[in-house]
Amino acid sequence: MIAHSFVRLIVNHHPDLKIERVLTRRPLGSLADFPLAGALTQSIDDLIAHSDIIVECSGDVFHGTEVIERAFEAGLPVVTVNAELQVTTGSYLAGKGLITEAEGDQPGSLAALHEDAIQMGFTPLVYGNMKGFLNHHPTPEDMAYWAKRQGISVEQTTSFTDGTKVQIEQVVVGNGFGATITRQGLEGLGSTNLNDSASVLGMLADRAGQPIVDYVVPSGYSAGGVFIVGRHDEEQAPALQYFKLGAGPYYVLVRPFHLCSLEVAKTVRRVLNGGGVLLNNSTRPTLGVAAIAKQAMKPGDLIERGIGGFQFRGEAIRLADHPDHVPIGLLRKTALKRAVEPGQLITFDDVDILPSRALEIVEAQRQALKASVCEEDVLGLEPFPLIAGAAG
């Protein structure tokens, strides 16, 4: 859906930009309805040879990592609509070339709102996501129904519904802007009034002593947007109250929409015009998304997929607290080595993971993290100094 919509947008509304190639793994004969069928290719070499910039929107951690590494070898910048990849291999990739999440999906929309907030003098305390519906244990039947109704895959529908996607999105934002979490899995406040919920989250951020990422589940008002809770200079309080932002000290800036593929072109132009990174997972992340079992399983059980599956869901964690967790983005065609119980956080001792470039990257990051924690513990330092700015 993202690729179809993005291609139509560029063709119909951006005459100075041209899509030369679209990489697909599907049989070309099955894509006769694609809006630019003549641009389709199954060759990464062909894609790279005809591109000045790559837009990666596969939603696939493994395939996306391969394509981006090849793009970086050719010196090409990459815009992603793939938060799943960002939280799995994105920090490694951020050290190898220009990779940025696009405006349009919630992380990029929060990053754009962050830039606006900073320019207006706000100090962000909370980077918030609005989630319309949450069910940690949806049934396959319900997900098949809603996937058909919404025109997206069952896997996407499931990852949205069970909360995995919002955890992934908020972790990318947290890593990009040096924010943390107040607890594993985030607060996820039920909310009938965003200003009230924002004040609670603002107080939690003050208590934490640094910005936080979180989300609300609204009731009685529109969901689907993003928001920032921030402070401002005391002398601006009368003006902000006149501007209908309330008496403070917490002020809420809301972006009530995110239009996915229709906004990606803004980030493409940003990069082409030298604007640099909007948001990525940073080269020194402090947060990750762990796999949490939804059901009891026994040794030998096969895991077809983590994100969007019915066996696991994702929860935001602090990396320093769980250095041996399995990032949920790595779970694909995996076998359990040990029995697990509902609610259990999965570690590398629990599973056999098929070799892949993504696994190599994650394993190298994991060993570096453990070494860093050990060294900083010996020196008496706080682990993982926060990195200011989205570029890492």
Give tens-digit pLDDT for 55-92: 999 999 999 999 999 999 999 999 999 999 999 999 99
pTM: predicted TM-score of the whole model, two decimal places: 0.93
| pLDDT at residue 246 in the model | 96
- Annotate 278-315 with b (16+ C-beta within 10 A) or e (fewer): bbbbbbbbbbbbbbbbbeebeeeeebebbbbbbbbbbb
The answer to whether residue 388 scores a pLDDT higher than 60 is no
The answer to whether residue 387 scores a pLDDT higher than 90 is no
Chain-centre distance of CA 29, in angstroms?
A: 32
Per-residue pLDDT averaged across 243-268, rounded?
96
Per-residue pLDDT averaged across 247-266, rounded?
95
Judged by DSSP in three states, 291 sits in strand
By the 8 A CB rule, do 302 and 327 touch?
no
d(C-alpha 160, C-alpha 154), whole Å? 10
Angle of helix 2-13 versus helix 264-272 axis, rounded to 10? 60
First to last CA, the chain: 30
In the 3-class helix/strand/coil scheme, how is 246-269 assigned residue by residue?
Answer: CCCCCEEEEECCCCHHHCHHHHHH
C-alpha separations of 251 from 31, 65, 226 in Å: 48, 38, 14
Which tokens in the block code for residue 285? 């992340």
d(C-alpha 210, C-alpha 27), whole Å? 49
In percent, the amount of the chain with pLDDT more than 90 equals 89
C-alpha separations of 316 from 52, 244, 289 in Å: 35, 34, 5
Which tokens in the block code for residue 302? 């096969």
Residue range 196-231, pLDDT digits in tens: 999 999 999 999 999 999 999 998 766 689 999 999
- Residue ranges of alpha helices (H) inside the chain are 2-13, 44-49, 61-73, 83-85, 91-94, 106-119, 140-150, 154-161, 164-177, 194-208, 237-242, 264-272, 357-379
| pLDDT at residue 392 in the model | 31
Phi, psi of 55 (to 5 degrees): -105, 115
C-alpha separations of 95 from 127, 280, 288 in Å: 24, 11, 17
Question: Which residue is associated with the tokens 């809301």?
Answer: 254
Half-sphere exposure of 252 (CA within 13 A, CB side): 21
Q: What value, to the nearest 5°, has the Cα angle with vertex 208 and ends 206 and 213?
A: 90
Per-residue pLDDT averaged across 187-199, rounded?
94
| pLDDT at residue 260 in the model | 92
Cβ neighbourhood burial of 247 (10 Å; 0-12, 13-18, 19+): exposed
